[in-house]
Amino acid sequence: MWSSVSGDASAACPERKRREEAAEPAEEDRPLVFLCSSCRRPLGDSLSWVASQEDTNCILLRCVTCNVSVNEEQILSKRKNENGCILETLYCTGCSLNLGYLYRCTPKDLDYKRDLFCLSVEAIESYVLGSSERQIVSEDKELFNLESRVEIEKSLKQMEDVLKALQTKLWEVESKLSFTSCKS
């Protein structure tokens, strides 16, 4: 029953869709956030990604967040093919879950692991940034912008001035009360 008036309109929709898809990075291109599997605290992200190792079931990161604690007691690795590796254990600061190891000393063939954070895949979960679909506020409405921030700061300054004036008046009243009580 309905038909397109213009042949260009039907061609424009796929073109617009392609442009929208090109503007959005593919999910595999988006950064990942690594979370503690126990308490869900953020531990690091894929921007510091170095490598993943399927044989040891871990990922190697250059840096981690302050939610990762390093036990500086050095231990000798007992893993196969890691003879001579000296490790420091990594823990989650929130729940004390063992997250993996920091390689401090390695033989020549494992030098690529030295001073890297090796997080066990079993101890972490990942979240793709931008993967959430629900929005609390529609895209055309911002919660805060520069103008609203200026207004809020102005209101806070006015409230601060009123509170200082009230505090001064209160001190005056208290001092008069203490002065009259001293006379009696």
Q: What is the pLDDT of residues 43-64, one digit of tens each?
A: 999 898 888 877 788 899 999 9
In terms of domains, do 109 and 156 share one? no
Q: 3-state SS string over 119-170? A: EEHHHEEEEECCCCCCCCCCCCCCCCCHHHHHHHHHHHHHHHHHHHHHHHHH
Structural domains counted in the chain: 2
Q: How far apart are CA 100 and CA 95, in angstroms?
A: 14
Instruction: Kindly state the helix (H) or strand (E) to which residue 14 belongs, with its residue range.
Output: helix 7-23
Burial of 36 (0-12, 13-18, 19+ CB in 10 A): buried
What is the DSSP pairing of strand 49-53 with strand 42-45? unpaired
> Is the model's pLDDT at 181 over the cut of 50?
yes
Do residues 62 and 91 both lie within one domain?
yes
Residues 163 and 87 in one domain: no
Amino acid 96 reads: S
- Tell me what the pLDDT averaged over the chain comes to: 78
In a domain, 7, yes or no: no
Query: Do both 175 and 108 map to the same domain?
Result: no
What pLDDT, in 10s, does the model give residues 117-132?
A: 999 999 988 888 877 6
Looking at 128, 156, 176, the residue that finishes a domain is: 128
4 within domain boundaries: no
119 with 164, same domain: the answer is no
Residue 140 forms part of a structural domain: no
> Do 37 and 97 reside in the same domain of the chain?
yes
Alpha carbon distances (Å) from 10 to 19, 23, 105, 116:
15, 21, 63, 53
- Are both 45 and 115 inside the same structural domain? yes
φ, ψ of residue 55 to 5 degrees: the values are: -65, -35
Q: Which residue has the higher pLDDT, 16 or 75?
A: 75
Give the model's confidence band at 79: pLDDT under 50 very low, under 70 low, under 90 confident, else very high: confident
Shared domain check, 83 and 159: no
Q: pTM score > 0.85 for this model?
A: no
Domain range enclosing 156: 145-184
Tokens of 118: 């090796």
- Per-residue pLDDT at 98 exceeds 90: yes
